[in-house]
């Protein structure tokens, strides 16, 4: 097993700040239960992250839970996100979910696009 395969097997982590923000968002949207994070083709660096509030999980979803918040990631996206940390940042530049992904070898300035 190569280094890339080992990284892909690592779990995705959710910070306390991200869990609090997800819980807050879900509480304001009746029927929604989780935040789905997916990796899609496209973006200025080759792949991009998508974020969406969802009502239910799919059969191939991996659920990551912390402090009552749930993030769902499908198995294919998880291959590109193994070992990543999902955080929520509130600073002078604004508020946003940010993903620190050890699999990304390059990313764009906006932080939502990356390459492997």
In what order do the strands lie in the sheet containing 106-107? 61-66, 69-74, 34-41, 47-54, 113-115, 106-107
The percentage of the chain sitting over the pLDDT mark of 90, rounded to a whole number, equals 54
Domain containing 32 equals: 3-115
What's the mean per-residue pLDDT of the chain?
A: 83
First to last CA, the chain: 18
Based on the structure, what is the number of domains in the chain? Answer: 1
User: The pTM is what?
Assistant: 0.80
CATH code at 37?
A: 2.60.300.12
Residue 14's pLDDT band, with cuts at 50, 70 and 90, is very high
């Amino acid at each position: 097993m190569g280094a890339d395969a080992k990284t892909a097997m690592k779990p995705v982590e959710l910070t306390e700040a991200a869990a609090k923000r997800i819980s807050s968002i879900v509480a304001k949207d009746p029927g929604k239960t989780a935040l789905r994070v997916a990796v899609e083709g496209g973006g200025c660096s080759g792949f991009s992250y998508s974020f969406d509030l969802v009502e239910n999980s799919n059969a191939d979803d991996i659920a990551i839970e912390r402090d009552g918040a749930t993030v769902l990631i499908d198995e294919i996206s998880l291959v590109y996100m193994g070992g990543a940390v999902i955080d929520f940042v509130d600073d002078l530049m604004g508020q946003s979910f940010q993903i620190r992904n050890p699999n990304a070898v390059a990313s764009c300035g906006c932080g939502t696009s990356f390459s492997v």
